[in-house]
Amino acid sequence: MLLARDGMTENAVLFWKLAKATLLRAVLIAVVVVGSVSAQTGGIERSPVYLAVSGNVALDQHIHDLLQQSFHKHWDLISVSGEQAALIEDAPVITIGPGAFSRVRQANRKVPVLAMLTTRDFLEGFASRSPGQISGVYFDVPLLRQALIGKTILPHASRIALIATTASAELYDSLIDELPQYGLEAQLFIVKEDKQLIPTLVRALSYGDFLLAAPDNAIYNPRTIKHVLLTAYRRNRIVIGPSQAYVKAGSIAAGYAPFPVMTEMAAEYLQEFFETGTFPEPDYPPSFNIAINQQVARSLNIPLAPKEQIVKSVELQIENKGVQIDE
């Protein structure tokens, strides 16, 4: 087979490419047509909503099922790949994750996109350039909430250590401005090169009562997280954030947006899209949950209130602008 392919003439290669493109086009048309037809079956005409998946089968299926529930049969949900999005006109596409979002955007600049499982940092620029057409439900939890989770767990904390690269420093800009009204202050320590991560972390841990980690792959990634967590533990400092996965790895807690809340919010955005033709601005889900690593808390002798109580305390602090509620 390899020999045959190597032996192909240029014409033969062109032919195969053409045939492949034609075949793909036929399949896409079939999917969209079938999708449209299926949307009109059952006697009720329902608008199609396309779902561009991430490729993680279990995750995609879970989101798909939740969206179905949230749609209450108002719309039909049709899964498509990124390339298939090229043929979609007018109907909105929900994307799962930044990869699917990028693929859809590359294939079709005109299609309205509602992004899920992307962070604010990722999506904000696209949404501001195409207001109403590009929107989403942010996957991350606002850093202020993460900071207040830390403050609730460690009530005597007053200083937060932050680490970023020069490129990611802006992630923390608004947080640093917001913190003083909650009785907190933060100092950002910049890592200019990989080698400086641990020395910078050591300096940051000397400053802060805890380390707040934003979703910043340059600093917090599977390669670095072990060093970061262990260095923090040894200094008796806790790490908050950036996500559930890192809590599983050993970070003490992180807020996260529950999928049902995100899909409900997506349904509300779609409702508005079908009514007005535009999406509302992207935003964070209205409520969040918290993941906690009890084992780490016990090891560090940190008493933890129940999750619901921590969440409630954070919400009340935000409502009352800094007045911490003692549960």
Q: Which is nearer to other proteins, 20 or 226 (CB)?
A: 226
Q: Which is nearer to other proteins, 56 or 79 (CB)?
A: 56
Task: Count CB atoms within 10 A of the CB of residue 4.
Answer: 8
**Least distance CB 150 / other proteins (angstroms):** 12
**Least distance CB 139 / other proteins (angstroms):** 8
Q: Which is nearer to other proteins, 87 or 305 (CB)?
A: 305
**Burial tier of 256 (Cβ tally within 10 Å: 0-12, 13-18, 19+):** buried
Q: Three-state SS across 262-304?
A: HHHHHHHHHHHHHHHCCCCCCECCCCCEEEECHHHHHHCCCCC
83: left (phi over 0), alpha (psi -120 to 50) or beta: alpha
**Least distance CB 291 / other proteins (angstroms):** 6
C-alpha 118/C-alpha 260 separation (Å) is 16
Tell me, rounded to whole angstroms, the distance of Cα 319 from its chain centroid.
24
C-alpha 79/C-alpha 76 separation (Å) is 10
Could you say which DSSP state residue 142 is in?
P
Contact yes or no for 282/272 (Cβ under 8 A): no
Q: Which is nearer to other proteins, 27 or 300 (CB)?
A: 300
**Least distance CB 14 / other proteins (angstroms):** 37
**Least distance CB 138 / other proteins (angstroms):** 14
Both structure tokens of 26: 């036929």
Integer CA distances (angstroms), 317 to 240, 260, 304, 313, in order = 17, 24, 18, 6
Residue appearing with tokens 């908050």: 240
Q: Which is nearer to other proteins, 20 or 192 (CB)?
A: 192
Contact yes or no for 255/212 (Cβ under 8 A): no
Q: Which is nearer to other proteins, 110 or 195 (CB)?
A: 195
**Least distance CB 62 / other proteins (angstroms):** 6
Q: Which is nearer to other proteins, 133 or 293 (CB)?
A: 293
Q: Which of 281, 298, 300, 276 is nearest to 211 (CA)?
A: 300
**Least distance CB 47 / other proteins (angstroms):** 27
**Interface residues toward other proteins, by CB under 8 A:** 56, 58-59, 62, 97, 117, 154-159, 183-184, 187, 189-190, 192, 195-196, 198-199, 202-203, 206-207, 222, 225-227, 229-231, 233-236, 243-250, 256, 258-259, 289, 291-301, 303-305, 324, 326
Beta strands in the chain (DSSP E): 47-52, 75-80, 93-96, 113-118, 134-138, 159-165, 185-191, 210-212, 238-240, 253-256, 289-292
C-alpha 179/C-alpha 160 separation (Å) is 9
